[in-house]
Amino acid sequence: MKTLIQKVLVEENHSFACRTYRTPNFETNWHRHEEVELIVITEGYGTVMIGEYVGEYKSGDVYFIAANLPHWFKKNHHKITGSAVVLQFRKEILGYDLLQTPEMRNINALLQKDEGIALDKKLQSETGQLIKSLEFSENFNRMLLLFTILNRISTSKEFRVLTQNFSSNNITINPAIEKIIDYSFKYYLEPVKLQDIATLTKMSIPTFCRFFKKNIKKTYFEFLQDLRINHACKLLKNTDKPILEICYESGYNSWAHFSKQFKQVKKMTPSSYRKKFSEN
């Protein structure tokens, strides 16, 4: 069975979609679509998966997601309200010949990339406002704003590449992938055994490991590590708890193991990470 492919509805007299999705319509499981997506988070916080990337999202964040790149925004708690303005368009509406012109070189290069990116700093703020404005624009102004947004992103360096070259067109996914991810979001702070996950999917351990690596492009324990380190980062940024306490609250029972994995994922120590955000 193929990945959940979302059909994007485009209103009459429009060539692309831009609308607000709010709880419960904000909640969409692991999926992809043929449209390029730009999304600005307007309410809520939680964990985002784009391709093999796992990280934290919060209100104000803006993401560019290439066509056919699987993604999932998962709220941290079911009682949290999630909301976002989502802009989705097919590259074809911009016109092949137009995209080949010298003036469109940067935008064309952006649209050719199979990437998921997170916008930063001034680019994030400006693009977020433009997307919100586009939602209520009509006629030529809609297309003008779309080109303006793409031009700003394609000529800026204020973004982080989260994932790239994540080939999804030929991926076959069993519905169990959503069950695995959902289970992991619920229990990643507790001891997790491969046998438990394999039993959940009715697979042997070797079959499950191959299955997960094929679909998420990383091992299950690498995925679990990302969830736990992401949780630790939130505690380091938003609380004054001792780092050793954060280690245990993030699903680790060994400081050495936590410290090693944190440095592996974030390229710095937990104390350096906290200092970086306290200075900001």
The arrangement of secondary structure in 176-279, i.e. its CATH architecture, is Orthogonal Bundle (1.10)
Residues of the chain with CATH 1.10.10.60: 176-279
Does residue 162 have a pLDDT over 70?
yes
Does residue 120 have a pLDDT over 80?
yes
Give residue 2's pLDDT: 38
In DSSP notation, 70-101 reads -EEEEESSTTS--EEEEEEE-GGGG-HHHHTS
Give residue 214's pLDDT: 84
Rounded Cα distance between 236 and 14, Å, is 45
Give residue 57's pLDDT: 92
Backbone φ/ψ region at 18: left (φ over 0), alpha (ψ -120 to 50), beta: beta
Residues of the chain with CATH 2.60.120.280: 4-164
Who has greater pLDDT, 31 or 21?
21
Who has greater pLDDT, 8 or 104?
104
Rounded Cα distance between 44 and 25, Å, is 13
Give residue 65's pLDDT: 96
Name the least confident of 74-83, 132-141, 234-243.
74-83
Does residue 191 have a pLDDT over 80?
yes
% of the chain with per-residue pLDDT over 70:
94
Specify the CATH superfamily of domain 4-164: Regulatory protein AraC (2.60.120.280)
